[in-house]
Every structure is written in C-alpha cells, then in structure tokens.
Amino acid sequence: MLQPGLLLTPSPKAGFFYGYYIVLMACLVLITVGAALYSFSVFFEPILTEFGWSRAATSGAYSLFLFLQGLLALPMGRLTDRFGPRLVTSAAAVSLALGYFLLSRLDTLWQLYLFYGVVLAAGVGIWVPMLSVVSRWFVRRRGLMTGITVAAADFSLLVWPPVSNLLVSAYGWRTSYIIIGIVTLIVVMAAAQFVRRDPGRMGLQPDGESGAVAADLDLQARGFPFRSAVRTRQLWQLCGIFYCLFLLAYTIPVHMVIYATGLGISSTSAANILTVAGASTISGVIMGLTIDRLGNKRALIITSLLFVLSLAWLLAARELWMLYLFAVVFGFGFGCLWVLETPAVAELFGLRSHGAITGFIYFVATLGGTTGIVLAGYIFDVTQSYQPAFLVGLGIAVIGLALAVSLRPSDKGENSP
C-alpha cells in the first residue's frame, strides 16, 4: 500500500534515464581523483632526490593524507545530504587543484604535509558523496551501478601511475603537478554541474521507472537521521565489518612486495603480484550484480569469506604461482569491498542521512587500514617474520565474517521517521 501523502508522478519525459548520466559523472570524478590516491609513488623518488628527506618523513605525508581523507568523508557526506552534491563536488575540485598547484611550489617538508596531507585530502573525500548520490538514483540496480562506479575508480589505479610517470619524465615533477591540477579542475568542476542529489529533484523516480513501488520512493524521504543511526547495533556492526576488512585491504598490499622478495622472488615479479591484485578488482561489477540478486548481507558474507580464504592461503604460499593465486582471490575481495558500503547503508538506514552515515563508516574503516599497516610492521619487528602478522590478519578476517553472518535488519527498518 502507498504511504499517506505519497504521490506517484510519472517521469516528465521519456528517454534516456538521467541516473545514467549521474553514474557517468561519478565515474569521471573518481577516475580523476585517483591521481591523488595512486600517483604518490611516482613523485616520491624525484622529491626525495631534490630535497634529500628521509623515506619515513616523506611517506608520512601520505599516511596523513589517507587518514584525513577518511576523516573528512564524514562532513562531506553530511554536507551532501544537506546542500546537494554540486556545491560539494565543486569545492572538492577547487581544493584538489589548489593542492596540486601548491605542491608544484613545494620547498619544505611541512609544506608537503600541508599541501598533500591536508589540502589534497579535503578534495579526495568526494569519494563518499559520489557513491552516496549513485545510491539515491537507483534501487533495483543500485548494486550494479555502484559496482560500475567503483570499477571506474579502480581503473584509475591502472591509469595514473603510468600517465604520471610519462609527465614527470617529460616535464619534471613540478610542472606535472600543475598539469594534473588543471585537468582535475576542468573535469571535476564540469562534472559537478551535471550532478543532482536524487531523482525527486528532477521529477523522476529511482531506476527510471514510470511508476515506482512505494517503498522505493519512500527511501528518498525517510530513513534514519544520523543521530538515531549511531545508536543502533547494526551501524556498529557495519563499522566492525569494514574496519576488519579495510585493515586487511590496506595492510597486505603495503607489505606484500617486501614479503615476496624475502622469499627469494625478484622485485619485478613481486610488484606484479600487486598488478594481478589490482586487475582483479574489476570484480566490483560482479559484486554489484550479486548485491542486486542476493542482497547485501549475503554479499558481505561472500566478500568476508574471500578475505578469510585468501589469508589462509597466504600463510601457506611460498612460491610465485601461489602468490599470484592469492592475489586473484584477495584482489577479487578487495574490489567487492568498495562496492558494498553504500548499498548496505541504504538498505539498513534509508537515504535520509545516507552521506553522513556512509562517511562515518568509511572513516572507521580508514582507521582500520592505518592501524593495520603499523601493526603488521610492529609484529615483524618483534618476531622477524610476517607469518604471525598474517595469522593475526586471518583472525581479523574471521571476526569480519562472523559480524557479517550475524548482521540483522535494523529494528525500525528503513521507514524510521
């Protein structure tokens, strides 16, 4: 039955559903933003060569960047809920362009921390608002559209390192930052002008339906406010699941190359392990379809199980082919992980505060990643072996799986006022 006062209005005109433009714009934004996430290693060496800073001090700026982009995702999600994505995305474009321009003038170490760790991080936080907007435009195909968007973001991992390397080789690192900044400003600012928060703002309905199920439309107007969501067990379970899995997703790639070379594998082959894992992240599209067909809980269980299986295999892996097989399974889980958050939040808590809730979970997940990187290094320093660290990782994966299995619908459902 329809909720009182709920009007089903047809789309103002037939044709190509505008939600697909939303997905296209989100893909363009996230591919472009990927330059800040995935090109740091290319600029790392020329910056070290010019200034002579230590590796630890220089890489610390990137650690700060990872932490702050997760922290800033929360306010950016809340601002998107309140003011819409166009303003937030435009501000992110300016922040990113400013960060790149300032980096081209880099002179001291504290500036690297400020320009990269803070200014760029403020722009990269647009990740959460983009995925939140995609979730608002689709219900039946939400998983698939989220998967496509995440796959585009993963594609930037394959694009930006070689492109950045070509730019640095041809123009030097300072000019390269200016070029990337100009491209980022143009692409992200232009895309922002076409992004709308939800279909209701344009007289449309989710998925482009001419008539929608009441529950589908109800998601746009109802759901948990943020302050109510944080009091639910389900929110903290989701935080626990993503904390555990993101801890592994961030930690394993950081330590994999040095672990593989310690087994006697060449540095080139060790680096290729990460390439295989990166290529496997295209699985996000498959997971999107899985979400639409099987539901979010089963998708969370499948992804958690992939991490459990990959860590169990890693404990026994000693040869290159075994590590490649690990990379395929781990990369598949990694790609699925990024797709799961926004659909799960929409199902459990509705869309009323979707950006804020998603940003909060993403921040907690980022804490898991930053914690895991340090924890694995500490365990190795104490034991002189990665095996105990991987064993701890397996235990963490099992905890994530247990949390996913025990996840239940929210007590008030998605129609909470």
Same domain, 40 and 141: yes
Same domain, 251 and 182: no
Same domain, 370 and 238: yes
The residues, ordered by sequence, that sit 6+ positions from 348 with a Cβ below 8 Å of its Cβ are 234, 235, 238, 296, 409, 410, 414
Could you tell me if residue 6 is inside a domain?
Answer: no
Same domain, 57 and 171: yes
Instruction: Choose one of 176, 208, 240: the last residue of a domain.
Output: 208
Cα 330 from Cα 352, distance rounded (Å): 34
Same domain, 169 and 268: no
Same domain, 179 and 306: no
- Domains identified in the chain, total number: 2
Residue 210 near residue 10, CB atoms below 8 Å: yes
Could you tell me if residue 413 is inside a domain?
Answer: no
pLDDT of residue 221: 47
Residues of the chain with pLDDT under 70: 1-15, 210-222, 411-417
Same domain, 199 and 306: no
Same domain, 261 and 321: yes
pLDDT of residue 13: 47
Could you tell me if residue 138 is inside a domain?
Answer: yes
The residues, ordered by sequence, that sit 6+ positions from 89 with a Cβ below 8 Å of its Cβ are 29, 126, 129, 130, 188, 191, 192, 195
Could you tell me if residue 218 is inside a domain?
Answer: no
CATH number at residue 244: 1.20.1250.20
pLDDT of residue 83: 87
pLDDT of residue 15: 64
Q: Kindly report, residue by residue over 22-68, the tens digit of the pLDDT.
A: 999 999 999 999 888 878 877 877 888 899 888 778 877 887 888 89
Could you tell me if residue 299 is inside a domain?
Answer: yes
Q: Kindly report, residue by residue over 305-355, the tens digit of the pLDDT.
A: 999 999 999 999 888 999 999 989 998 888 888 788 888 888 889 888 888
Could you tell me if residue 214 is inside a domain?
Answer: no
Instruction: Choose one of 208, 241, 273: the last residue of a domain.
Output: 208
Same domain, 49 and 197: yes
Same domain, 170 and 276: no
Instruction: Choose one of 152, 180, 208: the last residue of a domain.
Output: 208
Could you tell me if residue 416 is inside a domain?
Answer: no
Same domain, 240 and 291: yes
C-alpha separations of 117 from 39, 59, 311 in Å: 14, 10, 31
pLDDT of residue 211: 52
Alpha helix (H) residue ranges in 263-386? 267-280, 283-294, 296-316, 320-349, 354-383
pLDDT of residue 414: 42
Report the residue count for the chain: 417
Could you tell me if residue 9 is inside a domain?
Answer: no
Domain interval for residue 202: 18-208
Same domain, 311 and 263: yes
